[in-house]
């Protein structure tokens, strides 16, 4: 009888590349293919000091391949077979320590500048990331409908973030209601224009790879639509909070304002910030595709060819439909806040009330 072997799979540790064998690597201009053999010594984890050989298969895709030299520190995924590391795979240069440092500096700066509100914002950031990673994405893989599940997810996120930052009061309620109205409008427009543009979800990176991985039942077009309103929901929430906080301040300082005057004041605040927020969406989305636009321009393609391409049309839909929600959230929030604040607000102690003409 063969002796039983003990095996543990999927272990991770930092590894130092001590030697590289590139004899089988084929180079064609800037493209490298075929295997690169690495000798790696583990420098972290329970098996530090152990060595193993790793085959780094180069596929010729620059966005996916990493080419290593001796002295590089990599993330190693390996199995433990009979107490010996084996079947190692290099998962890229080790970057996790810099990522944790960047997260820590970001959180410290947020708390240092905004105090308790910054701490709430940092916790909301973590909550949003966990909700997407641990709940929404697994539910999609299990076959849940992307659009309705995405709307529920956004509603939960919006409620937690707006009510924790804005408070359990009229300001928080106005922010939540205005945000959700803007998100629902964005969702409806995304559904309509995705059909009008004849777009499908495979225009997104890695969407086709999901199908090849065996997830044939995924509704890629609905996932694409959900990505549109989820991506804009943060900016929508931000603008709704600005409007609601401004209208709360206006009512606190001028409790005698009528509903119509209060709503008009909120709309004036909204007009001042909408222009920069829509430009923010344009820059945020388009800057991620600079290489694509440079390629099109270098080929001398006419503008109509570029704009009519499916992946460019998808980005146009993403930007403009998201901006529709952003623009309409200002009047939505102003209207909701005006109705919620129609009763006189309690006067703040120690602060004189300005005259109504001071708001002009």
Q: Categorize the per-residue pLDDT at 4 as very low, low, confident or very high, splitting at 50, 70 and 90.
A: low
Per-residue confidence band for 6, with pLDDT thresholds at 50, 70 and 90:
low
If asked whether residues 229 and 345 sit together in one domain, one would say yes
Q: Are residues 67 and 159 in the same domain?
A: no
Q: Which of 8, 89, 73 is nearest to 41 (CA)?
A: 73
Tokens 């829509």: give the residue. Answer: 278
Query: Mean pLDDT for the chain?
Result: 84
**Shared-domain flag, residues 52 and 147:** no
For residue 175, give both structure tokens. Answer: 């922010």
- Is 130 inside a domain boundary? no
132 in any annotated domain: no
pLDDT band per the 50, 70, 90 thresholds, residue 349: very low
Residue 137 lies in a domain: no
Number of domains in the chain: 2
pTM of the model: 0.79
Task: Count the helices and strands in the chain (H runs, E runs).
Answer: 10, 6
Q: Is residue 183 part of a domain?
A: yes
Task: Clarify whether residues 164 and 285 are in a common domain.
Answer: yes
Domain match, 43 and 175 both: no
Whether the per-residue pLDDT at 289 is higher than 70: the answer is yes
Q: Are residues 153 and 282 in the same domain?
A: yes
Q: What is the CATH number of the domain that holds 18?
A: 2.40.50
Residue 344's pLDDT band (boundaries 50, 70, 90)? low
More confident residue, 257 or 176: 176
The pLDDT tens digits of the residues spanning 187-219 come to: 999 999 999 988 888 888 788 788 887 788 888
Same domain? 79 vs 152: no
The pLDDT tens digits for 308-324 are 888 888 888 888 888 88
Q: Are residues 87 and 197 in the same domain?
A: no
Residue 68 domain-assigned (yes or no): yes
- Is residue 105 a part of any domain in this protein? no
Q: Which domain holds residue 242?
A: 143-359
Cβ-defined contacts of 146-151 (< 8 Å, 24+):
146/219, 146/222, 146/223, 146/225, 146/226, 147/187, 147/191, 147/222, 147/225, 147/226, 149/226, 150/226, 150/229, 150/230, 151/183, 151/184, 151/187, 151/229
* Domain membership flag for residue 352: yes
Q: Are residues 217 and 87 in the same domain?
A: no
In-domain check, residue 125: no
């Amino acid at each position: 009888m063969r002796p039983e072997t003990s095996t543990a799979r999927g272990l991770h540790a930092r590894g130092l590349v001590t030697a590289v064998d590139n004899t089988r690597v084929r180079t064609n201009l800037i493209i490298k293919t075929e295997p690169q053999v690495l000798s790696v010594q583990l420098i972290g984890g329970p098996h530090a000091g152990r060595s193993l050989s790793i085959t780094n298969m180069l596929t010729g895709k620059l966005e996916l391949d990493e080419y290593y030299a001796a002295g590089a520190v990599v993330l190693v995924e390996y199995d433990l077979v009979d107490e010996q590391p084996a079947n190692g795979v290099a998962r890229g240069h080790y970057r996790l320590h810099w990522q944790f440092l960047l997260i820590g500096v970001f959180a410290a700066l947020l708390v240092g500048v905004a105090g308790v509100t910054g701490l709430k914002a940092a916790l909301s950031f973590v909550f949003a990331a966990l909700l997407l990673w641990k709940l929404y994405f697994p539910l999609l893989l299990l076959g849940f409908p992307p659009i309705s599940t995405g709307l529920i997810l956004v509603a939960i996120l919006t409620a937690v973030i707006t009510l924790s930052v804005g408070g359990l009061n009229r300001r928080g309620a106005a922010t939540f209601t205005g945000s959700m109205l803007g998100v629902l409008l964005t969702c409806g427009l995304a559904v309509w224009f995705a059909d009008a543009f004849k777009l499908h979800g495979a225009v997104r990176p890695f969407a086709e790879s999901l199908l090849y991985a065996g997830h044939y039942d995924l509704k890629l077009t609905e996932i694409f639509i959900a990505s549109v309103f989820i991506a804009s929901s943060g900016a929508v929430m931000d603008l709704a909070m600005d409007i609601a906080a401004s209208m709360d301040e206006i009512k606190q300082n001028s409790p005698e304002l009528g509903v119509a005057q209060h709503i008009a004041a909120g709309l004036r605040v909204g007009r001042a910030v909408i222009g920069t927020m829509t430009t923010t969406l344009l820059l945020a989305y388009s800057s991620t595709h600079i290489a694509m636009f440079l390629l099109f321009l270098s080929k001398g393609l006419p503008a109509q060819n570029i704009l009519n391409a499916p992946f460019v049309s998808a980005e146009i839909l993403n930007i403009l439909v998201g901006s529709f929600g952003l623009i309409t959230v200002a009047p939505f929030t102003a209207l909701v806040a005006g109705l919620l604040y129609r009763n006189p607000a309690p006067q703040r102690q120690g602060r004189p009330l300005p005259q109504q003409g001071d708001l002009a």
